[in-house]
Amino acid sequence: MMSCENSIKLCGLLLVLALFSCKRPANEQLQSETEVAKEDTTAFSLDSFTEFPEEVMGCSCYFGLDSAAFAQGQYEFVSDFGETAFVSINGEITKFTRVSREEVDSVTTKSRYENLDFWLSIQLIDGRALDYEVSRMTGKMTLGNKSGKEISVDLFGVCGC
């Protein structure tokens, strides 16, 4: 026969085993936390900014969403009229390097920019010249990440020196 003390020890052991058997396996918990982290990295926003990055001096292109935003100095895209462009992603100015440029016709150009996390496609249509060195332009910009999420916006702005 079991003593009362041994019965209490056995009940305590069974209680501990029952409690720990309800816990999820560690690898399942880790996998679910990893999936949440992956979801967070795919979400992004395209934001306006008001100040040009220091790297943009002299000749440049800068665009807002429309003429009103442009007039208020709210920019979505700024480039140095060369190889470097900037947009604001999740509130941070993000740098891109141009990887291709194509003249579609006499007034339309397409450019593609990339960095480690995102790509940027710009299609610009040359509008009327505002003076000898500056032209008004309109276009479309698409920002995408490596996970396949994309945001597209219309652009209104100028390019010139």
Query: Lowest mean pLDDT: which of 1-5, 32-36, 139-143?
Result: 32-36
| % pLDDT > 90, the chain | 65
Within 10 Å of residue 153's Cβ, how many Cβ atoms?
A: 17
Mean of pLDDT over the chain: 82
Tokens standing for 20?
A: 């720990």
Is the pLDDT at 43 greater than 90? The verdict is no
The residue to which tokens 């700024």 are assigned: 78
**Tens of pLDDT along 54-94?**
999 889 999 999 999 999 999 999 999 889 999 999 999 99
Task: Of 43, 77, 74, give the one whose Cα is nearest residue 60.
Answer: 77
| Res 15 pLDDT > 50 | no
Q: What is the pTM of this model?
A: 0.73
Residue closest to 98 by CA, chosen among 79, 117, 125, 77: 79
Helix, strand or coil, per DSSP, at residue 159? strand
Position 41 scores a pLDDT of: 56
- Categorize the per-residue pLDDT at 6 as very low, low, confident or very high, splitting at 50, 70 and 90: low
Percent of the chain with pLDDT over 70: 75
Alpha-helical (H) ranges within 3-93 are: 4-21, 26-42, 67-71
- For every residue of 40-52, DSSP letters joined together read HHH---EE-BSS-
Q: What's the whole-number mean pLDDT along residues 127-139?
A: 92
pLDDT at 112 over 50: yes
Q: Please state the rounded mean pLDDT for residues 147-157.
A: 96
Is residue 71 classed exposed, middle or buried when 0-12, 13-18 and 19+ CB atoms within 10 A define those classes?
exposed
